Structure 1
Amino acid sequence: MDRSVAVEISKDENGVSQVVLRSPRGASARISLHGGQVRSWKNERGEELLFTSSKAIFKPPAAVRGGIPICFPQFGNRGSLEQHGFARNRMWVVDENPPPLQSTDHSSGNAFIDLLRKSSDDDMKSWPHRYELRLRVILSVDGYLTLISRIRNVNCKPFSFSFAYHTYFSVSDIRQEIHLNDSEVRVEGLETLDYLDNLCNRERFTEQGDALTFESEVDRVYLSSSDAVAVFDHEKKRTFVIRKEGLPDVVVWNPWEKKSKAIADFGDDEYKHMLCVDAAAIEKPITLKPGEEWTGRVDLSVTASLY
């Protein structure tokens, strides 16, 4: 693969390094070295597939509201760690010595970049463990997006963490009530699963519906899901498929009207056009012994839907 054509490294409007991946058919992905965050994912027609708030803050150290933030070493807001951990707020570097690519990851036409985040003194103040976090982002010839994270314990003692790819999908109007019985946006693949409801003090429930639709705020962690979940968008006639490895849980989040107004970097009405569906490991934290490594992977594809 000719990386000089498929991979471009530049600076964004705030002088932060970023990487743009391009597929031969015109799809693209843009990754910021601030947070190792995918900021944009466009299909071959140039349509943006990820949501970013019009009020997002793009200057470090603030995390950007949108795209795909990396949540490590925790998801949520507990203890002394900042919300969703510090990985999404720190600067990363291009990994000059990445692990070998699998044969399926370097197929002809795939563009990729490897990023690296190592524990810093600032990290150690709130989470006293030495780690290496490697991220590979791959844009396939078909425009599909893959993120692979490898976390290695370079500590002298075990540590535990949770992790999520906090993916903000761009959708048409999510509100079920304005579409009568024909829901515009729904999630399938979560039926019969237990979930923790963050709106009810993490109480455990079981999903009763055949598909998840939206008429109010949702903040749930679905447990031990299958390896594939789909987001159907009737109006835009497209379906996102989330396939995952090493990430047993799925977070589904939409703040709805009231909470949107309380979030400073989020527009009052923007909840209508976004949905977070995250591949995650939350209920059972991952524990690594010294020298051990964990790998988590998500493959995001989008296809035209016929209704």
Structure 2
Amino acid sequence: MGFKAANQQVYLYGGHVTSWKNDHGEELLFVSSKAIFKPPKAIRGGIPICFPQFSNHGPLEQHGFARNRFWSIDTDPPPFPTNSSTKAFVDLILKPSEEDLKIWPHSFEFRLRVTLGPGGDLMLTSSIRNTNVEGKPFTFTFAYHTYFSVSDISEVRVEGLETLDYLDNLKNKEQLTEQGLVWNPWDKKAKAMADFGDDEYKHMLCMETAAVEKAITLKPGEEWRGRQELSAVPSSYCSGQLDPQRVLQSS
């Protein structure tokens, strides 16, 4: 089951945004033509929610379990900030099942608001609360694993990530300083993935908004919020404005 609103589409399976289009109807997110939209496989593309573990940096399955669980409509959402001129939004909630508690023994409430702004901006706001009743804190890592659609991977340039640190999976998670911080399976891995077209690597790349290097710890009753806001801008946009340090300082 999914929801379409203006220029976005969201599935209850995974709390997963699978489509975001600009005013010209052009798709800005990549979803594989071979994506599987049912358990136990996560949807290949869009914006998977990685929780309570990003990648394989921990004891759980790759990227945790939130991206392959069915979420519910949140009938009692918290007061997320929403502009009065917002085009559309939907509130979802995920709580652990008995099976989830066996593999990760912590009670939580994960609320997600997906918002389409007046200018077509896409915003995801996450609120994660520790609802353990026995006084037990928990620690997690998190990411919006966004798959962007591109016309030609050989013509793509990522700016603004210079001097930032990252962990390189191809070098045994060694911490490096580089411009990388993106993911593309390239030709050999693309052919080895059953839910990914052999040549689709040419038309996508992943950039994650994540809390990974410093895991988040919540005591019972505590709440963490994270937000990702995406905007489509003209190609003549001044790249200097994309400096992440400048954005962080001004927010």
Which of 190, 198, 211 matches 1:281?
211
CA drift at 1:19: 1.5
CA drift at 1:55: 1.1
Contact 2:141 2:212 in 1 (8 A): yes
Which of 63, 68, 81 matches 2:47?
68
Which of 149, 155, 165 matches 1:194?
165
* 1:135 partner SS: strand
Bigger relative contact order, structure 1 or 2, given CA contacts below 8 A and separation 6+?
A: 2
Q: Residues 30-179 of structure 1: matches in 2 within 5 Å?
A: 30-102=9-81, 105-155=82-132, 156-175=135-154
Contact 1:168 1:274 in 2 (8 A): yes
CA distance in 1 between partners of 2:108 and 2:157 (Å): 38
Greater per-residue strand proportion: 1
List per-residue Cα deviations over 1:95-152 (Å, max 9, x = no partner).
00001132xx232243111100011112112111000000000001211100000000
Which residue number corresponds to residue 185 of structure 2? 255
User: Are the structure 2 counterparts of residues 31 and 97 from structure 1 closer, same or farther at C-alpha, using a change threshold of 3 Å?
Assistant: same
CA drift at 1:272: 0.8
Give the residue type in structure 1 aligned to 2:205.
Answer: L
CA drift at 1:61: 3.0
Q: Residues 199-218 of structure 1: matches in 2 within 5 Å?
A: 199-207=170-178, 212=179
Which consecutive unaligned segments of at least 5 residues does structure 2 have? 238-251
Contact 1:131 1:152 in 2 (8 A): yes
Displaced runs of 4 or more, over 4 A = none
CA drift at 1:80: 4.1
* 1:271 partner SS: helix
Contact 1:80 1:126 in 2 (8 A): no
Number of paired residues? 235
List per-residue Cα deviations over 1:220-275 (Å, max 9, x = no partner).
6xxxxxxxxxxxxxxxxxxxxxxxxxxxxxx4111111111111111111111100
Contact 1:68 1:168 in 2 (8 A): yes
CA drift at 1:53: 0.7
Q: Is 1:19 aligned to residue 3 of structure 2?
A: yes
* 2:102 partner SS: helix
* 1:125 partner SS: helix
* 1:81 partner SS: coil
CA distance in 1 between partners of 2:236 and 2:216 (Å): 40
Which residue number corresponds to residue 303 of structure 1? 233
RMSD over equivalenced CA pairs, Å: 1.4
Which consecutive unaligned segments of at least 5 residues does structure 1 have? 1-16, 23-27, 176-183, 213-219, 221-250
Percent identity between matched residues is 66
CA drift at 1:48: 0.8
Give the residue type in structure 2 aligned to 1:187.
Answer: V
Which residue number corresponds to residue 230 of structure 1? none
Contact 2:146 2:207 in 1 (8 A): yes
What is the TM-score with the length of structure 2 in the denominator?
0.90
CA distance in 1 between partners of 2:153 and 2:200 (Å): 10
Give the residue type in structure 2 aligned to 1:195.
Answer: Y
List per-residue Cα deviations over 1:34-58 (Å, max 9, x = no partner).
0000011111111111001111112
CA distance in 2 between partners of 1:70 and 1:139 (Å): 18
Give the residue type in structure 1 aligned to 2:233.
Answer: T
Contact 2:13 2:37 in 1 (8 A): no
CA distance in 1 between partners of 2:84 and 2:119 (Å): 11
Give the residue type in structure 1 aligned to 2:160.
Answer: G
CA distance in 1 between partners of 2:206 and 2:41 (Å): 19
CA drift at 1:59: 2.2
CA distance in 2 between partners of 1:21 and 1:141 (Å): 13
* 2:201 partner SS: helix
